Amino acid sequence: MKNIKIKETKIIAKGEILLKQGEIAKYGYFVKSGCLKSYAIDKAGKEHIMQFAPESWMISDIDSFTNQVPSLVFIEALEKSEVAIVSKSGFKEIDSLDKESVVDIAIKFRNNLIASNKRIIGLLSATAEQRYMDFTETYPTLTQRLPLKHIASYIGVTPEYLSDIRRKIAEK
């Protein structure tokens, strides 16, 4: 029985890429300071942000990390960041971990799943303006900290259109 293994801590420069689409993820990253993002590039070459990971968040492509399949996303630093690297070998089979760690992991997956499901409901049923307002309420800090174009990508609109949305909101 073991705990999750932390390999080491590392400083990542802004713009540095930690995982590429198509590669198999060897690591997960716990962000100690700064901010990372994960994003997919579609057939038209456009970027779509899946997740932001500011301080105290974990980021990785779980499917690639656990099932050794090609990653669907890139992981990249939006700011100079310090990350703790979680290695695959310390993680491989969930049931080789001690129970306490498994409970932690189950709860993390569950919380992530709840958040992803809420995002799906939003994408299916809310307008871009509603999604933007939800984002600003849910992540007020990120709203101020990140360039608008990244938020646009996360909520699923172009930066130009989000700019329009913001003006309309301001006019009210």
Partner DNA sequence: AATAAAAAATAAGATACCTTAAGAAATGAG
Partner DNA sequence: CTCATTTCTTAAGGTATCTTATTTTTTATT
Residues in contact with DNA by CB under 7 A are: 44, 46, 127-129, 147-149, 156-164, 166-167
Please identify, using beta-carbon distances, which residue of 85 and 142 lies nearer to DNA: 142
Partner that binds at residue 129, options a copy of itself, DNA, none, CB closer than 5 to 8 Å by kind: DNA
The whole-angstrom separation of Cα 128 and Cα 105 is 33
Query: Binding to a copy of itself by residue 95, rule CB under 8 A?
Result: yes
Sign of CA dihedral 137, 159, 126, 107: negative
Q: Contact region for a copy of itself (CB under 8 A) — 6-14, 22-30, 77-85, 91-99? A: 91-99
Q: Are strands 17-19 and 35-41 parallel, antiparallel or unpaired?
A: unpaired
Please identify, using beta-carbon distances, which residue of 10 and 142 lies nearer to a copy of itself: 142
Give, for 76, the enclosing helix (H) or strand (E): strand 74-77
Partner that binds at residue 110, options DNA, a copy of itself, none, CB closer than 5 to 8 Å by kind: a copy of itself
Q: Residue 134 CB, nearest distance to DNA (Å)?
A: 13
Count CB neighbours of 114 within 10 A. Answer: 10
**Closest CA relative to residue 85, chosen from 3, 6, 15, 14:** 6
Cβ neighbourhood burial of 38 (10 Å; 0-12, 13-18, 19+): buried
Query: Binding to a copy of itself by residue 92, rule CB under 8 A?
Result: no
Size of the chain, expressed as the number of residues it contains: 172
Please identify, using beta-carbon distances, which residue of 88 and 150 lies nearer to DNA: 150
Binding residues (CB under 8 A) for a copy of itself: these are 40, 42, 46, 48, 50, 62-63, 66, 72-73, 94-95, 99-100, 102-103, 105-107, 109-110, 112-114, 116-121, 123-126, 156
